[in-house]
Copies of this chain bind each other. A is one copy, B any other.
Amino acid sequence: MQPIGRTRWAIAEGYLPGWSNGPEPQLASHETVCLLNAGYRTARVEITVLLSDRDPAGAFRVTVPPRRTLHVRFNELRDPEPIHADTDYASVVESDVPIVVRHSHLDSRQEANARLSTIAFGSDT
């Protein structure tokens, strides 16, 4: 399969709810960046997290093997630092080969969970 996608993506919104209301781990409140690598080369990916009141956090580094998808939970990023709950953020995802990026969110702060998922903004420059 030919690769598909872009090498730079921006996710203009991020927010980790401060609490949850559902069985762990599937229904814990969380945010995920979903990476798709359709080509035959490993994707080396850097995620930079932009904040509202300080310099960016990261870069967080992950790799996506060829012809694989990887779902990364922002909650679980630890190196070089964790992302705080209840804080507005945004992110830029940069890869050395074309990938496709989507951002999704499960919010279980109330009795029923709310989900959202949005394509990121892709660019090659």
Contact = CB atoms under 8 A, between A and B. Distances in A.
A97 interface: no
A52 B69 contact: yes
Task: Give the interface SS of chain A, mostly helix, strand, loop or mixed.
Answer: strand
Contacts of A50: 36-38, 67-69
This protein's copies in its complex? 4
B121 A104 contact: no
A81 B109 CA distance: 33
A109 B119 CA distance: 24
Nearest to A118: B117
A114 B117 contact: no
A18 B23 CA distance: 13
A121 B100 CA distance: 7
Which of the listed residues A5, A13, A27, A70 has the most CB atoms from chain B within 10 Å of its own CB?
A13
Contacts of A43: none
